[in-house]
Structures are given as C-alpha cells and as structure tokens.
Amino acid sequence: MDFNYSPQDEAFRAEVRGWLEKNRQYAPSGRSPLDDGGNEDWQARVRWHKRLNEGGWVAVHWPKEYGGRGATVMERQIFREELARLDLIEPFLGMGISLLGPTLMHWGTDAQKNRHLPAILRADEVWCQGYSEPGSGSDLASLKTRAEDHGDYFLVNGQKVWTSMAQFADWIFLLVRTDPEAPKHKGISYLLVDMHSPGITVRPLVQMTGGRGFNEVFFEDVRVPKANIVGEKNNGWQVAITTLMFERSGNYGESVTQQVRELAELARRIPRNGATAWDDSGVRQRIARFASEAVALKYTAYRQLTRQLKGIPPGPEGSLMKLCGTELGLAVALYAMELLGPYSQMDFEAPFAVDSGKWSLRMLAARGPTIYAGTNQIQHNIIGERVLGLPKG
C-alpha cells in the first residue's frame, strides 16, 4: 500500500475536518445505543444523523445516485480517521445506512430503492435486523419464523430475538421460511416488514449493562405485501449473505487504538504507592503490549484496504480483524478494571466513580462484539478452515 495521500485525498480530509470541527458540538457522547435504550440518548443520535445528512456526510460511501457522496475506499477511511481523531462516532441509527441500504442497492427493485433509500438518509425510517431466533444464531439457516403465501401477501408467524433497536425501528428486514420442505438454505426469503403492522409485539430485554437496546420481536398473523420481498421467493439466503458481508466488513481498528490511548491516560491518573500506576514498569509494559497489538491491527486493516483498492474481494483479514479487534477491546476493558481496583465496582454515573464509571460499563459491553456478526468461535473456525487449511471440526 502507498501510505502517501493524493492531493484529492488531502482536499477531502480538509473538507471533512473543517465540517466536523464546526459541527462536533452537535455529536452525542460515544455511548452505544446497544448499551442504553434510553430515549434521550436516542434523540441525540437522531439529531446527529440529521445534522450529518444536511452536510452530506451521513452515508459518504453510498453512490451519488442514491444520495451518498460516492466516496472512494480511501476517502471513507479518511472520514473514519477524522471522526476518530475528534473522538466522534460514525453515524449509527439502526441498520439502514450500514446494512439495508447497500443490500437494497444490489437486490432491491426500483420501487424499493426509491421508497426506502431517501427515507433512511433523512432518518425518517429506522431499520432493525430480524435474523436471530431462539435456537438459530450461529446456525442461522435453521430459522423457523414462517411466511405463508396468500396470493398478494405473506402471512408471517414466529419470533426473533436480540433485535437491536427494535423499540425505535419503523421497519425490519426479516428472514423467514417460505418453503419448509426445501433444504434449509433453499427455503428462506428476505422480507421488508413495517414494524407498525398489526400483529407485531416488541419486548425489551435488559442487558447486564442495564441498557435496553435488545428486544424480542413476536409476529402473529402479520400481513406483508408481496411487493416487499427482496430478491426471489426462497432465494433469501443469497440476499442475507450480502447483508452479512456488509456487517462483517465493519471497522474494528480505530476504536481500539483510541481505547488504548484512554487506558494510558487513566494509568497516569491512578495513584499508586506515592506515584501513579504509570510509574510502574509492569503497567507500562502491559499497555505497550496493547498498543503494539492495536498497531498490528491497524496495518492488517491497511492490508484489507489494499485488497479493496485493487478491487479484490475481501480476504481472511476481515475474520482476523473481527477476532483480534474484539478480543483486544475486551482485554483492554478488563485491564482497566485491574487498574481501578475497588473503584471498578462502581456503577455507571455513580458518585465518586472514576470517569463517571465508563470503564465498568465498557467492560460489561465489551463481550457483545465478541458475539455479534459471527461469534469469535465461528471466526476461529473460518480462520482454521479457510486460512490454515485445517480439516472441518
């Protein structure tokens, strides 16, 4: 990879930086909605999304014809770097921008694209992802929610679980079984379902962080117009995989670099034996190790970027990044607990909690990324089988 940026890249960087510096006061805190289903937190996210949309920054990587900025792979990377530099987050209001929009661009009808893509950009439609079910997570194709064909509509019955942000969502993209007799991957369809339809019930699940970002979603005789199918009937697995590819191409490098930096700052503030934790060489060595791993991740991400720039399909770097990035995030969060000692036990926003207790919240939340988008055990399987050529377990 050429580490030099072209003059166009630098111009793009200057433009992003200028806009973000002027508008950063409108950005919410970095807390994830998966950790807090609170309405206030959500409204702050909606405002930030709308602000970014006004500036043309909400979907930089979407093609211009769909209302994006048509940013190159490099420009998207620069956009992320500039957000990270100011400790801001990439807009995250449900799964519309990241997952459904790009999937519809590949598979959607013109009517579906025209209706949903502009609404996603404006935050008029918030989308959630209806994949997992009780008993169908890693083995997703075993899902049981069924949709019966009733001429011009499907009748949907079943249950989804772990549905992030369903309590705020207007729409859900839903995997359903339309042919129970077919082999499991062949009888699935991909539907767009209005969450305000009669027969849908959303029940929040409280996480160990205390947040209410997750939900169970129940479907009882829900009518879904035939026009809302994406791709062909019984060919939904192909569409579902497209969405998963976008989910797994997530960004695991920059946030962890930022966390290691914050950990070092924390160590400098924690009193220990008349000095600070940072004065202990053992502490510095641990943090240096985390920092080295974060740098290794950054260069692995660049390797991934090089493939993208050359137009080569994603390689095993995605699984490596997901596995190592999330494990490192967890290790950093656990080490912060060690540094904080008894203060680590204090709740988020408790009086006397260091940094308002964000470290314990982070530690509790850091397990989530090791589970979603393919658990880390599944990533081990992928790396073992497809990278190392080991036999199937």
Ligand X SMILES: Cc1cc2nc3c(=O)[nH]c(=O)nc-3n(C[C@H](O)[C@H](O)[C@H](O)COP(=O)(O)OP(=O)(O)OC[C@H]3O[C@@H](n4cnc5c(N)ncnc54)[C@H](O)[C@@H]3O)c2cc1C
What residues are labeled active site? Answer: 247
Q: Where are the alpha helices (DSSP H) in the chain?
A: 7-23, 39-55, 73-85, 101-107, 110-121, 236-248, 254-269, 281-309, 317-340, 358-365, 368-371, 376-382
Partnered with residue 193 across adjacent β-strands are 172
Q: How far is residue 356's CA from residue 363's CA, in Å, rounded to a whole number?
A: 14
Q: What angle do CA 187, 191, 193 make, to 5 degrees?
A: 145
Looking at the Cβ atoms of 323 and 340, the one nearer to ligand X is 323
Member of 33, 68, 137, 211 binding ligand X (CB under 6 A): 137
Neighbour-count burial of 58, counting CB atoms closer than 10 A to its CB (0-12 exposed, 13-18 middle, 19+ buried): buried
Q: How far is residue 372's CA from residue 84's CA, in Å, rounded to a whole number?
A: 22
The residue number whose beta carbon is nearest to ligand X equals 137
Q: How far is residue 111's CA from residue 336's CA, in Å, rounded to a whole number?
A: 50
Rounded least distance, CB 78 to ligand X, Å = 28
Segment contacting ligand X by CB under 6 A, of 37-45, 111-119, 124-132, 254-262: 124-132
Does residue number 326 form part of the binding site for ligand X (CB under 6 A)? no
Rounded least distance, CB 275 to ligand X, Å = 38
CB 387 within 8 A of CB 316: yes
Does residue number 138 form part of the binding site for ligand X (CB under 6 A)? yes
Looking at the Cβ atoms of 67 and 369, the one nearer to ligand X is 369
Neighbour-count burial of 179, counting CB atoms closer than 10 A to its CB (0-12 exposed, 13-18 middle, 19+ buried): middle
Residues 25-44 that bind ligand X (CB under 6 A): 34
Member of 111, 314, 377, 385 binding ligand X (CB under 6 A): 377
Rounded least distance, CB 168 to ligand X, Å = 12
3-class DSSP string for 163-197? CCCCCCCCEEEEEEECCCCCCHHHCEEEEEEECCC
Q: Convert residues 147-166 into a mask of x (bound to ligand X by CB under 6 A) and - (unbound).
A: ---------------xxx--
Residues 161-190 that bind ligand X (CB under 6 A): 162-164
Phi, psi angles (nearest 5°) of residue 83: -60, -45
What are the tokens at 314?
């994603």
Segment contacting ligand X by CB under 6 A, of 255-263, 268-276, 292-300, 365-373: 365-373
Segment contacting ligand X by CB under 6 A, of 78-86, 225-233, 334-342, 367-375: 367-375
Looking at the Cβ atoms of 354 and 371, the one nearer to ligand X is 371
Q: Convert residues 71-100 into a mask of x (bound to ligand X by CB under 6 A) and - (unbound).
A: ------------------------------
Segment contacting ligand X by CB under 6 A, of 233-241, 255-263, 264-272, 369-377: 369-377
> Count of residues binding ligand X (CB under 6 A)?
18
Member of 381, 382, 383, 384 binding ligand X (CB under 6 A): 381
Neighbour-count burial of 310, counting CB atoms closer than 10 A to its CB (0-12 exposed, 13-18 middle, 19+ buried): exposed
Does residue number 211 form part of the binding site for ligand X (CB under 6 A)? no
Pairing of strands 127-130, 171-177: parallel
Does residue number 114 form part of the binding site for ligand X (CB under 6 A)? no
Looking at the Cβ atoms of 6 and 138, the one nearer to ligand X is 138
Interacting residue ranges for ligand X, rule: CB under 6 A: 34, 128-132, 137-138, 162-164, 368, 371-372, 375, 377-378, 381
